[in-house]
Structure formats: structure tokens, C-alpha cells
Chains A and B, each alone.
Chain A
């Protein structure tokens, strides 16, 4: 219950999106041209929310009786979600016509999923985490299969739904055990009394089951089996949304819940778990991605590997590593959304032209696309001075600070392996003659999204301190 009306102003980012969803539904019902209005309406909404969140970053409060947190960490996450979603919407405008899903509903689902992520990142109560997670996931299940005529999209949606529901079952079971042992769903209560609860075996079991459920959502080995098929089968721009902002939302929950564990003086009980899954994900993702010919599938395996790099930060579990994860998530969002936007430009109506051969000789067809793709590939590979390098640098340093040098070494080694398949794309684009003869029609909106993402990757790479200072200032 709000203490005073001022709380509603602080909650403005969520309220803007909420009202925007309702207005979008009304526009969709009343207007015949809703699919032309809604993308711009969504982008305006997302930008307003992102700006508001960043301006409010220092007003860090917990509102509505310990339900939701505004400002601080949630503000940075809201920025990632909203800018990411705005770029995805911008690159979807022309892609949806090509893909055969030129509906207004697409944008409403994107908006709802962003609301779910914002609820997750701000949650200070396990109930809120669950509601936000469900809101985000249900939108993603539908978005994955939004084109009903495409068999691959149906398959992706069905697989995502079944395995996602399975993971949600794990999370709910974990929540039930945590609630059963603590008698409260408040995260503040959890962190204050953690040393008392941590002796209870049932509580630890509940926490581990909860973490396993979220390991599904962030796509780490051995809970990764849905990722390649879902990322390959879904619409390319939707994949860009799920793989970046969806992952960021799941990480925001893990960070909030595990601060209780990190902050306590007791032994960091989740370290072995996260160290194992992160080492497995990095090695598995990097090695399997080498043999992929389909770029979407390759980026899916690379996404598993990146989840592994970020999980190093969770294993290290100090303030510096959490800042590193948030920096990494920001950088990853722009790199990956940009890369998927380029694939969506090159892709044709039948889901083909997404494999390596189609990118052969891209330089002669469209120099700007080739240059941008090369930039994103270098950034994903972690080559300085691009944003991806500093993301990896921060988490590796935090691992060494926490005496996890072996994990940092595994991370560096798998980065070296991953350079092979990222650079292969660049080599194919620049030094191979084109195999298939086709003309690329470049949509100016998608190109704008790509260029904006590239600018972010460059800026965060050249002056990483600007973002890092903001992040460290909100982590205490």
C-alpha cells in the first residue's frame, strides 16, 4: 500500500509502460492503420521510460510496503530493457512485412514483455519476481511463434513453452520451499535473516531449485537444450529481444536474490554451483558454435557462452563482479541486437539466407552492413576497444579477486576459441566471393537501429568508465 501519493511518481517508468499497453490496445481496436502507428508509439514510450529511469537513478527507494524498488540498479536495468526494446521495434518495422506478421499485436506483446522485465528487475518480493517472470515469458512464447504459417516458428514456440513452463515449475517449487521455511516472501527479510535460514537444509534446497529454474531462463549448460532451436526458429528480431533483454531480466533477479547470499558473512554457498555451470557453458557454447553454419544458431550457442561469462560474476559474488555483470549485460544487449538486426536485413521471406554462404561477399553488396557486422562480431569476440572486451575484462578481474583464477583462465581460453567463429564471419564477408546472387533491400529503419547499436558499442568500448562509474555508484 502506498505511504503517500509521491510513490506513484517514483513508479512512473512502470506506469508509463502500463498505460501505454492499454492505449495501444485501444489504438489497435479503433484504428485501421494500427500497425503503422504502434511502432512509433512504442518507441516513444520506451524512450520516455528509459530517460525517466536514468534521470531517477539517484532516487533509490523501496515502494508499496517493500514490493518494488525504483532507482539504483533497477533504473539501469530499465534503461537496458527499454533502449533494447526500442531498437528491436525499430528494426522490426520493415522486417515484419517481409516475415508475414504485419500485425499491431506484435508491438503490444513486446511492450508487455518489457513491463514484465521491469517488474522483475525492481522486485523486492518473490511474488513480484514470479509475476514479472510469467508476464515476460508468456509474451516471449507467443512472440516466438507469432507467424503461425511457419513450421519452424511453431516448433520454436512449442519447445520454448514446454521447457519454459518446466523451468517455471522448478521456480515455483523453490519459492514454495523458501516460503515454507521462512514464512515470508520478502527479499529484505531473506537477506536480514539469511545466516539463520542458511542452516536449514530445506531452505537451501529451495534456493538451489529456484536457481536451477533461473539457470534455464539465462540459458546455461546443462539447462540450455531449448536455446538453439528456439533462437533459430523464432523471428530474427524477436530472437534479438529474447537473447538480450530477457537474459538481462533473469540476471537482474539472480543479482537481487543472491545479494542476500553475498552480503552475509557466511560461506558463499552458491559459488560451486555457479562456477560449474559457468565453466560448462563457456566451453560448451564456444566449441559447439564452431561447427554451426547457420548464423542464428551460431549466435544461439554464442549466447550460451556469454551467459557463462556473466555467471562468472555470480560465482565471484562481490560488488565489483555485480557491476561487471551489469556492464556486460548492457554491452551484450547492443552487440547482439545489432547482429540480429543485420541478419534480419539480409534474411529473405522464406527464412533462408541466414547461413554463412549468404554472407559471403557481403562487402561488395553493401559495405555499410558488412562493416557493422564486422564491428559486432569483433565486439562479441571481445576485442578491444569495443564494449564486449570490457564486459569480459570486468568479470574476469572480479573472478581473480575472489580467488577463482581457474574460472578466469577457462573464460579466457574459451574467449580465444570463440574468436575463431566470430572472425570467420568477417573473413567470409570480406575475402570470399559471393556464392548466391541476390540483391539486399536495406530498410532504412533497420539500418538506423543497427547504427545506433553500433554507436553504443563503440562509446561504451572507448569510454567504459562513464557507464562503469554510474553502475558502481548505485551498488553499495
Chain B
């Protein structure tokens, strides 16, 4: 057993367990914390697949920014109403089960019946390589340098805008 396999088993176990824990917790804050753990283990799986950039984005964007948003919403919302929603309206629960079953069947089909071709085409090999931070960085600083610079100004303008709209005491 090589290290990669051991890491995969550990990360996959964590991901599976935390996702089950997440949907079974009655307390939404606890569920959110388990979701963060799930995101982290998924990021580890991406790293094993040589997709460094997606792994980093997974941690920064999903585990960082989006989860913080989730927690803020949970704090602001009244969790009682959400509880009532599920008890009173059976239709929603049925609908949720239907969608998850659909996604599950789709994923299961892809894993067991989708036949990945033995040999990769050059395009596919290239796209697998593109996951590394080095390739993305190289592209950003050569072909996409102008959009990259504009993105910098976009962030600057957004920061100034947020300051103007949200600073407590202005002048």
C-alpha cells in the first residue's frame, strides 16, 4: 500500500462520514461545521488528483468565504421556522429526496458504467496538467496579463466601494 492510497482512504472516509453527519445534525451550526470539514477533505482529494489550483480555491472560496456567509445567514435567520417548514410541508422533503436520488444515480452511473478511455488524448492530458498552479500562473502572467490587471483594478474599486458604503463614520 503506497502513501497515495492510504491518504485517499483516510480523506474519502472523512468526507463520507462528515457528509452523513452534516445531514443528520438537528443543529444547523453543527451541520455547517461538518460541511467545512467535508470541504477540507475534498480539497485533499483534489490535491491527490494533481489539481492544486482547484484544491486551493476549494479551501479559500468554499471553506472560507461561502461557509462564513452560511454561518452569518444561520445566525440572522430564525432556525425555528426552518424546522417547522420541514415538519409541516412533507412535499418539500419528498422533493429533496427525489433530487438527491437523481444526483446519486447520475454519479453512480458515471463511476460504474462510464468507461474512461485507456489512453488519453493530447487535449485531455493538457487539461489535466492545467490543474497545477504553475500552469495557471504562467497563463495569467503571459496571455491573460491584461484581464489579470483589470481584475486588480476591479478588486480595488470594489474595496473602495465597500468602504464608501459601509464605513461607520465617514469624515
| Stretch in B31-39, B50-58, B96-104, B138-146 with 4+ CB within 8 Å of A | B138-146
Within 8 Å by CB of B165, from A65, A119, A145, lies A145
- CB pair A128–B146 under 8 Å, yes or no, is yes
Q: Which of B145, B153, B156 has the most CB of A within 10 A?
A: B153
Asked if B82 lies at the interface with its beta carbon under 8 angstroms from chain A, I say: no
- CB pair A142–B145 under 8 Å, yes or no, is no
Asked if A103 lies at the interface with its beta carbon under 8 angstroms from chain B, I say: yes
| Residues of B contacting A113 in the complex (Cβ-Cβ under 8 angstroms) | 157
Flag B149-171 by CB within 8 Å of A: 1 or 0 each. Answer: 11101101110110111000011
Chain A, 107-149, CB within 8 A of any chain B CB: 108-109, 112-113, 115-116, 119, 125, 127-128, 131-132, 134-135, 138-139, 141-142, 145-146, 148
Interface contacts beyond A138-B157, A142-B161: sample of 10 additional A-B pairs, CB < 8 Å, sorted by A? A1-B142, A64-B146, A103-B170, A105-B164, A108-B160, A125-B147, A135-B153, A138-B154, A142-B160, A142-B164
Answer whether A112 and B157 are a contact pair too, CB < 8 Å, given A103-B171, A105-B164, A142-B164. Answer: yes
| Residues of B contacting A102 in the complex (Cβ-Cβ under 8 angstroms) | 171
- CB pair B147–A115 under 8 Å, yes or no, is no
Within 8 Å by CB of A134, from B154, B160, B171, lies B154
- CB pair B154–A67 under 8 Å, yes or no, is no
Within 8 Å by CB of B157, from A64, A67, A135, lies A135
> A141–B158 Cα gap in the complex (Å)?
10
Query: Taking CB as reference atom, which chain B residue is nearest A143?
Result: B161
13 contacts between A and B (CB under 8 A): A67-B144, A67-B146, A67-B147, A105-B160, A105-B164, A131-B154, A134-B154, A135-B153, A138-B154, A142-B160, A142-B161, A142-B165, A145-B165
Flag B65-104 by CB within 8 Å of A: 1 or 0 each. Answer: 0000000000000000000000000000000000000000
| Residues of B contacting A148 in the complex (Cβ-Cβ under 8 angstroms) | 165, 170
Flag A290-310 by CB within 8 Å of B: 1 or 0 each. Answer: 000000000000000000000
Asked if A18 lies at the interface with its beta carbon under 8 angstroms from chain B, I say: yes
- CB pair B165–A132 under 8 Å, yes or no, is no
> A103–B154 Cα gap in the complex (Å)?
20
> A135–B146 Cα gap in the complex (Å)?
13
- CB pair A68–B146 under 8 Å, yes or no, is yes
- CB pair B161–A132 under 8 Å, yes or no, is no
A66 vs chain B, min Cβ distance (A)? 9
Asked if A345 lies at the interface with its beta carbon under 8 angstroms from chain B, I say: no
| Residues of B contacting A18 in the complex (Cβ-Cβ under 8 angstroms) | 149, 153
Query: Taking CB as reference atom, which chain B residue is nearest A154?
Result: B165
Query: Taking CB as reference atom, which chain B residue is nearest A132?
Result: B150
| Residues of A contacting B142 in the complex (Cβ-Cβ under 8 angstroms) | 1
- CB pair A1–B145 under 8 Å, yes or no, is yes
> A290–B154 Cα gap in the complex (Å)?
39
Flag B14-32 by CB within 8 Å of A: 1 or 0 each. Answer: 0000000000000000000
Flag A49-86 by CB within 8 Å of B: 1 or 0 each. Answer: 00000000000000011011000000000000000000
- CB pair B154–A146 under 8 Å, yes or no, is no
Query: Taking CB as reference atom, which chain A residue is nearest B163?
Result: A105
| Residues of B contacting A141 in the complex (Cβ-Cβ under 8 angstroms) | 161
- CB pair B153–A127 under 8 Å, yes or no, is no
| Residues of B contacting A103 in the complex (Cβ-Cβ under 8 angstroms) | 164, 170-171
Q: Which of B's residues lie within 8 Å of A, judged by CB?
A: 142-147, 149-151, 153-154, 156-158, 160-161, 163-165, 170-171
| Residues of A contacting B161 in the complex (Cβ-Cβ under 8 angstroms) | 109, 138-139, 141-142
A428 vs chain B, min Cβ distance (A)? 36
| Residues of A contacting B156 in the complex (Cβ-Cβ under 8 angstroms) | 21, 25, 112
Within 8 Å by CB of A25, from B146, B147, B160, B170, lies B160
| Residues of B contacting A146 in the complex (Cβ-Cβ under 8 angstroms) | 164-165
| Residues of A contacting B147 in the complex (Cβ-Cβ under 8 angstroms) | 67, 125, 127-128, 131
- CB pair B164–A109 under 8 Å, yes or no, is yes
Chain A, 11-37, CB within 8 A of any chain B CB: 18, 21, 25
- CB pair A127–B144 under 8 Å, yes or no, is yes
| Residues of A contacting B145 in the complex (Cβ-Cβ under 8 angstroms) | 1, 64
A13 vs chain B, min Cβ distance (A)? 13
- CB pair B164–A138 under 8 Å, yes or no, is no
- CB pair A1–B154 under 8 Å, yes or no, is no
| Residues of A contacting B157 in the complex (Cβ-Cβ under 8 angstroms) | 108-109, 112-113, 116, 135, 138-139, 142
Query: Taking CB as reference atom, which chain A residue is nearest B123?
Result: A183
| Residues of B contacting A135 in the complex (Cβ-Cβ under 8 angstroms) | 150, 153-154, 157
> A173–B170 Cα gap in the complex (Å)?
38
> A125–B160 Cα gap in the complex (Å)?
27
- CB pair B150–A119 under 8 Å, yes or no, is yes
| Residues of B contacting A131 in the complex (Cβ-Cβ under 8 angstroms) | 147, 150-151, 154
Query: Taking CB as reference atom, which chain B residue is nearest A11?
Result: B146
| Residues of B contacting A134 in the complex (Cβ-Cβ under 8 angstroms) | 154
- CB pair A138–B165 under 8 Å, yes or no, is no
> A157–B161 Cα gap in the complex (Å)?
12
> A142–B166 Cα gap in the complex (Å)?
11
Within 8 Å by CB of A109, from B150, B151, B160, lies B160
> A115–B147 Cα gap in the complex (Å)?
12
> A146–B153 Cα gap in the complex (Å)?
19
Answer whether A1 and B164 are a contact pair too, CB < 8 Å, given A103-B171, A138-B154. Answer: no
> A105–B170 Cα gap in the complex (Å)?
11
Flag A355-371 by CB within 8 Å of B: 1 or 0 each. Answer: 00000000000000000
> A102–B154 Cα gap in the complex (Å)?
23
B31 vs chain A, min Cβ distance (A)? 28
Query: Taking CB as reference atom, which chain A residue is nearest B148?
Result: A131
B127 vs chain A, min Cβ distance (A)? 11
> A138–B154 Cα gap in the complex (Å)?
8
A315 vs chain B, min Cβ distance (A)? 31
Q: Which of A21, A132, A142, A157 has the most CB of B within 10 A?
A: A142
- CB pair B153–A21 under 8 Å, yes or no, is yes
